[in-house]
Amino acid sequence: MTLSRPAVRQVKWMAGSMAWGVLLAVSVPCLGAVPPLMPLADVRAGQRGEVLTVYTGVRRERVPLEILGVAPGFAGPGRDLIVARLEGPQAERAGVVAGMSGSPVYIGDRLVGALSLRMGNFSREAIAGITPIQQMLAIPDRSSQPPTGNPNLEARYPLAPLFGLESWPEAAAVTTSLVTTPLAVSGMVPVVRELFEPLLAARGLGPWAAAVVSADGPEVAPLEPGDPVAAVLVGGDLTMAGTGTVTLVDGDRVLALGHPLVRAGDIDIPMARAQIIVTVPSQAGSFKLSRVGPIVGAFTQDRSAGLAGRLGLESRLIDVRVRVAGPGDDPGREFKYRIVRSPTLSVPLLELVLANTLMADALGGGGGTIYTRGSLHVENQPSVHIESATTGGLGGPPAALLAARHAATVFAALATSPFVHLKNLSVELEFRLEPRVQLLLLEEARLDRAEAGPGENVQVSVLLRDAEGGHLSRQTFRWTVPDLPAGTMLTIGVGDAAAVARATGEAGLAALRGAGSASRLVRALSAIPSRQGLYFWISRPAPGVILGAEPMPGLPPSVALLMSRDGTSRARGLLSQSLLHKEERRLAGVVSGSQSLTLEIR
């Protein structure tokens, strides 16, 4: 049957220009039409065939091969693998190349499957695994399965560090993938690549080709089996795309890769043409250096047997706008990105984009202080506001990496929520970089009296020391004592974001974890205390629990204890204090430390 292809709407992603070569005709059976298929039952050892792929530019080449046999259940029940030996000069020079995944394999005029696996490293022969075409044809257009949470994200982006209750984890437990997809990358700072390469490699992405320059180009001949193709993960001022090969084009439906990209199930990733700059031979694993071209559609399924998508589709993406400014009146520079919507990839890609943007600045790669302000916009909901500060150096990670992780964690809590995952999202952030470590250490807090009566004013004086310059500053808080029984003992606290979070029984963290709707989640995220804040609070003894997302003080101690231990209730922790008053004062620096004082009501 002759293929019919719809007009393809081109989406302009990246600036620049590139001369695309003209596709050369290759004498392959059924090129331009859906070929007859060979059932797996007809595949025998000793059969000879060809794999169709591109080594340079866009010229498809035929590589002879010999079928060695079939490995039943190689990738799981019902997931057989055809094993073959590639032959000829290209196979001798480069072996099985990362980026060949998806290259169609023919025996005579029949399509057998897609080359998908290199069998062993440092192999003396080019032994390849082939995914049978019937497994790829079984990939659905859409599934009814909703996106699920990712435990790797929860390990890398825990919520407690947002409140200063824990430190950021250095690394997260990740799941290793058996197959990898080479990445075409442009605009990447080398040190950021080194930091994030293991994270994405564990998801099946790599090796990286950091020298690639992405560009648009005029549309050439329609996409054909054997053509290079890219799944574009990030576009704009940084480009990142997983590259492979087209296996089959049937009308507007495209099958590619022959193995999963990141095993994400339902996806919405732009599909782009690609051009091979050069195939790099290596005993450790040859790979194709690719150039990303114009968008021609979207991949909609990422399954164990490969990628499936449609020509002409336009992906829904996450727009990210970042402004980076220096000290004083520096207006800064704006960067724009578009990243894919994916429970598996969106959060680490946003962290990578932010870290790369900040580390590219001369002030972002070391110590100093980074002030973050901005908003995460959610369709039909108020925006989540972010305002924080981060110091780096002093033997710890650079401030840029900590600021990127903080913003990505807030985004993770929002984007991976079941209340938000189908909504449109966008990100707007501004970072101001200061070369000094602006860390304010709480040295002393003094109360002007030990006891007071109702209606009287009390005053707390707080002494702060600049950690780098030693300069001392003072802040004063005043409070009017309410009508309380004589003998009541009040706790007066002053301190940083972590101290006020603990003083409130970690109610903010409980509200975030227990948010039962998108609006409650947005409120809880916007209420995360800022590390620039110096907090002043007053509390009194009052046993209680945090029920769902709300504190319930003043319960009898036995009732509070019983509720906190009841696994069927929504209680999330015990309270020992009831908060009477809290206020925040934003300072020019990151506040660290706390002190507690006592006031008796007479």
Distances (CA, A) of 284 to 150, 205, 225, 287: 31, 16, 28, 10
Q: pLDDT tens, 143-172?
A: 655 454 454 566 778 888 888 878 877 644
Q: What is the pLDDT of residue 544?
A: 56
d(CA 393, CA 369): 9
Angle at 37 between CA 31 and CA 42, to 5 degrees: 135
Tell me the C-alpha distance between 259 and 75, whole Å. Answer: 10
C-alpha 477/C-alpha 500 separation (Å) is: 15
pLDDT of residue 367: 72
Measured between alpha carbons, how far is 410 from 404 in angstroms, rounded to an integer? 10
Question: Residue ranges per domain, the chain?
Answer: 1-140+149-160+171-314, 317-434, 439-601
- Tens of pLDDT along 82-93? 999 999 998 888
The whole-number pLDDT of residue 95 equals 84
**Cα-Cα end-to-end distance for the chain:** 94
The CA-based dihedral angle spanning residues 83, 88, 93, 96, taken in that order and rounded to the nearest 10 degrees: -20
Low-confidence ranges of the chain (pLDDT < 50): 1-31, 146, 148-149, 151, 171-178, 210-211, 213-214, 218, 560, 567-571
pLDDT of the residue at 144 = 52
DSSP 162: G
Cα atoms in the Cβ-side hemisphere of radius 13 Å centred on 175: 10
CB 541 within 8 A of CB 576: yes
In this structure, the number of other CB atoms found within 10 A of the CB of residue 446 comes to 13
Instruction: Write a three-state SS string for 548-568.
Output: CCEEEECCCHHHHHHHHHCCC
CATH of 317-434, one of 3.10.20, 1.20.1300, 3.10.350, 2.40.30: 3.10.20
Predicted model pTM: 0.84
